[in-house]
Structure 1
Amino acid sequence: MTVNDYQLAWLLHARPYRETSSLAWLLTLEEGRVDAVVRGVRSRKSRYRALLQPFTPLQVRLKGHHELKTLVGLESTSAPHWFQGEALVCGLYANELISRLLLAGQPCQTLFRDYSLLLNLLADTQQREPALRRLELSLLEALGYAPSWQAVTGESLLPGWYYAYQFGQGFVPRPPGNHPEASTALYAGEQLLAIAADDWQNPATRKTAKRLTRQLLQPLLGNKPLQSRQLFQQLASSTIRPKTSE
């Protein structure tokens, strides 16, 4: 079996495997998502037990050339991120989204960068929502479903115009005029341009981006609900209502 060098990684999800081992879904810098067996990690004597946790910056060493690899080395590079409340649910949402949609073995260094940035910003209530949208767009880019920030006609997006998004085609322009349905069915050109420029100052841009990424992700997720969205709903109904949703 081939044994690779250490590479940066994050744990997305893990579940028990056999008596003392786990199956781990990892997001790595060099190989994208990797599924790996971590032998004996649930044993009390395992030196990996305390390290193999979500939101802990890791270095991993993997063995094998098949789709399911074996983790043979694990180190932490710094202290883990500790989240609670909405920040925690947002982190779990990001993990679930990547685990569900990203194929194993697909390199995606930009996604790894944006995921790492998200974890650094989740505790900041002002930066949390833009970081989530940036991650979703980065994932869509890795999957080949990111929007092209121009109209289907090949023309640039224009302020003052509205656009409908058609999956597999792109933004279909609607000339300036009376668009009473714009709040639910169309996207304002100036807000799309702001998203493309990574400019999140306007709350309307954040609202538009959330609606757009949800529309883009829905056909990929299918009918199976995200567990993290159920957690958002529970958090919303608690005494502390979240200010940002996934």
Structure 2
Amino acid sequence: MSHTDQQAAYVLHGRPYRDTSLIVDFFTLEYGKVSAVVQGACRPKSKLRASVQSFIPVQIAWRGRNELKTITQAEPVAAMMFLNGDALLCGLYVNELLSRTLQPFDPHPQLYVYYQYVLNELVSGEDIEGALRTFEHRLLDELGYLPELGNQLDDQIYLLNVEQGFAALSGSGVSDKQKPFCFYGWQLNAISDDNYENLQVRRASKRLMRLLIDRVLGHQPLRSRELFQKM
């Protein structure tokens, strides 16, 4: 793939490259994550500078035969979504999550739609927590790390093994060591349907998604999560 034109994309992350350029991780509709050099993006008068900001839908083109491409065109197709406070931190979290978990040139068009959904929800601010849980759920499902959630017995307690999935608990109660990994069937059924109206479901979902995401990320923590904790 030496040259590609007119790809819908969002910026996930950028880092300095040489004196005036950036290496940017883009999330594209058709190609998934694409890393590319944006030459001269740090120059004050660069035409590309305004096009490589987070939360702006852009059309990009690139060239190059290696995995690291070079951007030849980047144009915004809509105004920047203005995120403030918690919504901004959540947006940075979602971007970092995608940048860390997606493999290069592995397309996820359905996940791209959910990414647009979560950004719109962050802008509206009506249910940020529910939108985040929905996005995490769909991300894990797309990447193949989501265990079977639905069709559980409501009053049954299930124990999560992050490698193998859920198993019904039986016998003499739940130990303190097991508690962080235990969920009621009715909670898992609600999470399966992305129904987060119940406070206990919200808490259970946050705990479940963190356990599963931490498995995917390994031992390197998310910087955006550390920023949350500091604030």
TM-score range, shorter chain: over 0.9
Residue 202 of structure 1 pairs with residue 218 of structure 2: no
In the comparison of the two structures, how many residue pairs are matched? 230
Query: TM-score under structure 1 normalisation?
Result: 0.87
In structure 2, the partner of 1:136 is: 136
Q: 1:230 aligns with which of 196, 221, 226?
A: 226
Q: 2:166 aligns with which of 159, 168, 171?
A: 171
In angstroms, what is the RMSD of aligned CA positions?
Answer: 1.9
Task: Give identity over the alignment, percent.
Answer: 40
Which deviates the most, 176-185 or 214-223? 176-185
In structure 1, the partner of 2:96 is: 96
Q: Contact conserved, 2:82 with 2:123, CA < 8 A, in 1?
A: no
Output the CA distance in 1 between the equivalents of 2:110 and 2:142. Answer: 8
In structure 1, the partner of 2:152 is: 157
Output the CA distance in 2 between the equivalents of 1:63 and 1:131. Answer: 35
Q: CA deviation at 1:228?
A: 0.8
**5 Å matches for 1:1-246?**
2-149=2-149, 156-175=151-170, 179=174, 184-235=180-231
Q: CA deviation at 1:183?
A: 5.7
Q: CA deviation at 1:66?
A: 2.3
Residues 184, 124 of structure 1: alpha-carbon distance in 2 compared, 3 angstrom cutoff: farther
Output the CA distance in 2 between the equivalents of 1:185 and 1:195. Answer: 15
Q: CA deviation at 1:64?
A: 2.4
Q: Contact conserved, 2:8 with 2:28, CA < 8 A, in 1?
A: yes
Q: CA deviation at 1:178?
A: 5.3
Q: Contact conserved, 1:161 with 1:176, CA < 8 A, in 2?
A: no
Q: Could you list the runs of 5+ residues in structure 1 that have no partner in the other structure?
A: 151-155, 236-246
Output the CA distance in 2 between the equivalents of 1:149 and 1:185. Answer: 14
Residues 125, 204 of structure 1: alpha-carbon distance in 2 compared, 3 angstrom cutoff: farther
Q: Which amino acid aligns with 1:122?
A: L
Residues 199, 179 of structure 1: alpha-carbon distance in 2 compared, 3 angstrom cutoff: same
Q: CA deviation at 1:126?
A: 3.8
Q: Deviations over 1:118-154 (max 9, x none)?
A: 110013444211111122122212322112225xxxx
Q: Which amino acid aligns with 1:117?
A: Y
Q: Contact conserved, 1:194 with 1:200, CA < 8 A, in 2?
A: yes
Q: CA deviation at 1:176?
A: 9.3
Q: Deviations over 1:172-201 (max 9, x none)?
A: 012598557686331011111011112111
Residues 176, 108 of structure 1: alpha-carbon distance in 2 compared, 3 angstrom cutoff: farther
Residues 199, 146 of structure 1: alpha-carbon distance in 2 compared, 3 angstrom cutoff: same
Output the CA distance in 2 between the equivalents of 1:17 and 1:87. Answer: 29
Q: Report the 3-state secondary structure (helix = DSSP H, G, I; strand = E; otherwise coil) of the residue aligned with 2:159.
A: strand
Output the CA distance in 2 between the equivalents of 1:139 and 1:167. Answer: 16
Output the CA distance in 2 between the equivalents of 1:73 and 1:61. Answer: 5
Q: Could you list the runs of 5+ residues in structure 2 that have no partner in the other structure?
A: none
Output the CA distance in 1 between the equivalents of 2:46 and 2:211. Answer: 43
Q: Contact conserved, 2:14 with 2:24, CA < 8 A, in 1?
A: yes
Output the CA distance in 2 between the equivalents of 1:30 and 1:164. Answer: 37
